[in-house]
C-alpha cells in the first residue's frame, strides 16, 4: 500500500504540470552511460563522441541496442538518419517494450520505419500494445514531408498518455480510455533501437524484400534522450532523473497549436488507420472515433500487411552483450 500511495502522489505531480514541453536543454545521454548492445556484434558502432551510434543490416545480421533501465513515464527521443537508395524490406525500429520481463503479457509502443523500392519514400508505422494484446494491432501509417535519408530528424515518444512526435510536430495521440481496458500499456518498459530484415511484410505486404546487393543498410542515431522516471525492478517505484519533471512539462492535454499541427499532419500524411480497416475489424475497436471523411480518404490506399511478434530479438540472452566500443516545419 505504501508503494501504491507514493506512486499515486508521483502521478498527480507529473500529470498536473504546465501544458506543452520543450526539447531545449534536455540532457543528451552517452551510449556507455545509458545503453547496452542487444544484438549484431560489429554491426553496432559507437562513434568517438560516445553519443552517436551506427546500426547496420547486412547478409549476416541486423543490429540493435537497448536502454539499461526500464521507464514508466518520461520523454524518449533520437535523431535518426535512415538508409538511402533501395531499402525495400528494411525495418528500423525505435520503440519501448517490456517483452523481456513480461513475455506473455508485454506492453509496447512502436515507431517503425519501413523501407521502400528506389524512388518511393519511407513510411512510418506507429502502434501500441497493452497486456499482451498483440492480436489487436492499433497500427497507423503515414508519409513524411521530408526525405528522412538526407539528414537527421527527431522522433520522440512522450509517455504519460502517449504522444508520437516528428521534429516536434505531434503526429499521434493515444489516451487511456475505459473501453481499452488492459490493452493500454501500463508497465515499465525499456527503450529499444534496431534495424532488421522485414522482407515478409514491410514493403507492399512482402512483394518487395531486402536486396543484399545494396547492403550494407546503415541507420544513424544521435541526440539520444532518455529523460524520465526509471523504475527499480525490485521496489517497482519510479525514480526520476534530476530535473526530469522540470524539463518534461507535460499535461493531460496538448496545446491548441500543437493539436492544430497534428490535425494538419494527419490530414495530409496519414495513409492507414486501424480504425478504418474493415478487413481486420468488422466493427471498429471501441476507442475509435470514426470520421466519415477520413474513412473515405483512406479507402484509396492498398490493404496493409503487418509483421509478427518475434521479429525484434526480444530474447533476454541478447541483453548480456554490452557495447564498449524547435525549428519551424511546414507540413
Which of 59, 108, 150, 235 is catalytic? The answer is: 108
Q: What does the pLDDT read at residue 308?
A: 52
Cell of 253: 492535454
Q: What does the pLDDT read at residue 261?
A: 96
Q: What does the pLDDT read at residue 306?
A: 67
Q: What SS3 class is residue 14?
A: helix
Sheet containing 108-114: order of strands: 35-39, 63-67, 190-197, 90-97, 108-114, 123-129, 140-142, 270-273
Beta bridge partners of 214: none
Angle at 159 between CA 148 and CA 98, to 5 degrees: 90
The region of weakest confidence among 89-98, 148-157, 291-300 is: 291-300
Cell of 217: 543498410
pLDDT (mean) for 41-55: 97
Angle at 300 between CA 299 and CA 304, to 5 degrees: 75
Instruction: Indicate whether 319 pLDDT > 60.
Output: no
Cell of 185: 500499456
pLDDT (mean) for 96-105: 90
Q: What does the pLDDT read at residue 257?
A: 94
Mean pLDDT of the chain: 83
209-239 pLDDT tens trace = 999 999 999 999 999 999 888 888 777 677 7
User: What pTM was computed for the model?
Assistant: 0.85
Instruction: Establish whether 112 is a catalytic residue.
Output: yes
Q: What does the pLDDT read at residue 247?
A: 52
Q: Where are the beta strands (DSSP E) in 167-300?
A: 169-174, 190-197, 217-231, 238-240, 270-273
Distance CA 329, CA 73 (A): 27
Find how far residue 306's CA is from the centre of its chain: 16
Which of 32, 59, 103, 112 is catalytic? The answer is: 112
Beta bridge partners of 199: none
Amino acid at each position: 500500500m505504501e508503494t501504491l500511495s507514493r506512486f499515486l502522489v508521483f502521478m498527480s505531480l507529473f500529470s498536473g504540470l504546465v501544458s506543452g514541453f520543450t526539447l531545449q536543454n534536455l540532457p543528451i545521454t552517452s551510449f556507455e552511460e545509458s545503453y547496452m548492445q542487444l544484438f549484431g556484434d560489429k554491426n553496432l558502432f559507437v562513434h568517438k563522441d560516445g553519443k552517436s551510434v551506427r546500426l547496420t543490416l547486412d547478409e549476416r545480421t541486423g543490429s540493435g541496442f537497448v536502454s539499461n533501465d526500464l521507464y514508466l513515464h518520461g520523454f524518449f527521443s533520437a535523431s535518426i538518419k535512415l538508409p538511402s537508395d533501395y531499402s525495400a524490406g528494411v525495418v528500423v525500429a525505435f520503440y519501448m517494450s517490456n517483452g523481456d520481463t513480461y513475455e506473455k503479457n508485454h506492453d509496447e509502443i512502436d515507431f517503425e520505419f519501413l523501407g521502400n523500392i528506389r524512388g518511393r519514400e519511407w513510411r512510418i508505422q506507429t502502434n501500441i500494445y497493452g497486456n499482451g494484446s498483440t492480436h489487436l494491432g492499433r497500427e497507423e501509417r503515414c508519409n513524411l514531408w521530408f526525405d528522412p535519408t538526407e539528414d537527421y530528424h527527431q522522433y520522440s515518444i512522450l509517455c504519460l498518455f502517449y504522444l508520437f512526435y516528428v521534429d516536434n510536430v505531434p503526429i499521434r495521440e493515444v489516451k487511456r480510455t475505459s473501453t481499452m481496458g488492459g490493452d493500454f500499456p501500463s508497465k515499465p518498459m525499456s527503450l529499444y533501437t534496431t534495424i532488421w530484415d522485414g522482407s515478409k511484410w514491410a514493403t507492399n505486404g512482402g512483394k518487395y524484400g531486402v536486396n543484399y546487393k545494396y547492403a550494407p543498410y546503415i541507420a544513424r542515431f544521435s541526440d539520444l534522450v532518455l529523460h524520465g522516471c526509471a523504475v527499480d525492478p525490485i521496489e517497482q517505484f519510479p525514480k526520476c532523473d534530476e530535473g526530469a519533471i522540470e524539463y518534461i512539462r507535460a499535461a493531460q492535454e496538448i496545446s491548441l497549436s500543437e493539436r492544430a499541427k497534428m490535425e494538419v499532419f494527419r490530414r495530409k500524411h496519414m495513409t492507414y488507420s486501424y480504425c478504418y480497416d474493415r478487413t481486420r475489424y468488422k466493427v471498429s475497436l471501441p476507442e475509435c472515433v470514426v470520421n466519415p471523411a477520413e474513412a473515405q480518404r483512406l479507402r484509396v490506399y492498398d490493404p496493409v500487411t503487418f509483421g509478427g511478434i518475434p521479429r525484434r530479438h526480444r530474447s533476454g540472452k541478447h541483453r548480456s552483450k554490452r557495447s564498449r566500443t524547435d525549428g519551424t516545419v511546414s507540413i
